[in-house]
Amino acid sequence: MRVILSLLNVETADTTLSHAAYDSKVEGNIIFTRLDAAINWMRKNSLWPMPMGLACCAIELMATGSSRFDISRFGAEVMRFSPRQADVMIVSGTVTYKMALAVRRIWEQMPEPKWCIAMGACASSGGMYRSYAVLQGIDRLLPVDVYISGCPPRPEALLEGLMKLQRIIEGEKPIEDQIAEIRQAQV
């Protein structure tokens, strides 16, 4: 009741109405965009990593989550140890044949859309282990979106890789177009 009375006390009805109907501050707070662009923007800023730490590179991966490097600046601090809650797998370390199929199974348990970062020389190419026991790159088992060089790469390199992945996600086509392309390729 007190609010209504105060409105009636304003000098004229016109000024009250114009103030209520138009606020110049609102103008600067409205953004027009496409739905696909908005979805991509939300996805790239809320990546939930599946930390696939297999060897020494995993120590750098862990350091990336520390306050010094602060991966949460990119919205990717929610490390999930459940594949069903993760959308980016960070393979960091040597992938032995013994471990490879377990990595593949975890990848398959992650829901779409999903992405993969190969962190370090071992995950990207087998690194210095040119041996019968080591897979020569995780891309032999699953699609990799970003490769990060180094043995081990520093946390800054992982953050750079994450930013590259964000740029990839930003430019992704709508899911209907992707499905249509896959169907066309199958014909």
Q: Does 120 interact with ligand SF4 (rule: CB under 6 A)?
A: yes
Q: Which stretch binds ligand SF4 (CB under 6 A): 21-29, 67-75, 120-128, 162-170?
A: 120-128
Residue 103 near residue 91, CB atoms below 8 Å: yes
Q: Which is nearer to ligand SF4, 57 or 142 (CB)?
A: 57
Q: Which residue in 146, 131, 70 sits closest to 95, CA to CA? A: 131
Interatomic CA distance for residues 88 and 111, integer angstroms: 10
CB of 77 vs ligand SF4, minimal distance in Å: 22
Q: Which stretch binds ligand SF4 (CB under 6 A): 9-17, 37-45, 72-80, 116-124?
A: 116-124
Tokens 């696939």 correspond to 52
CB of 164 vs ligand SF4, minimal distance in Å: 18
Q: Which is nearer to ligand SF4, 118 or 169 (CB)?
A: 118
Q: Does 137 interact with ligand SF4 (rule: CB under 6 A)?
A: no
**Residue 23 burial by Cβ neighbours in a 10 Å radius (0-12, 13-18, 19+):** exposed
Considering only residues 7, 10, 13, 151, which one is a binding residue for ligand SF4 as defined by CB under 6 A? Answer: 151
Instruction: Please work out, in degrees rounded to the nearest 5, the angle formed at the alpha carbon of residue 95 by the alpha carbons of 90 and 99.
Output: 100
State the binding string over 72-111 for ligand SF4 (x if CB under 6 A, else -).
Answer: ---------------------xx-----------------
**Per-residue burial over 109-136, b = 16 or more CB atoms within 10 Å of its CB, e = otherwise:** ebeeebbbbbbbbbbbbbbebeeeebbe
Going through the chain in order, the beta strands assigned E by DSSP cover 49-53, 88-92, 115-119, 146-148
Q: Which of residues 20-39 bind ligand SF4 (CB under 6 A)?
A: none
Considering only residues 50, 86, 122, 142, which one is a binding residue for ligand SF4 as defined by CB under 6 A? Answer: 122
Q: Does 134 interact with ligand SF4 (rule: CB under 6 A)?
A: no
Residue type at 61 in one-letter notation:
L
Contacts with ligand SF4 by CB under 6 A lie at 55-57, 93-94, 120-122, 127, 151-152
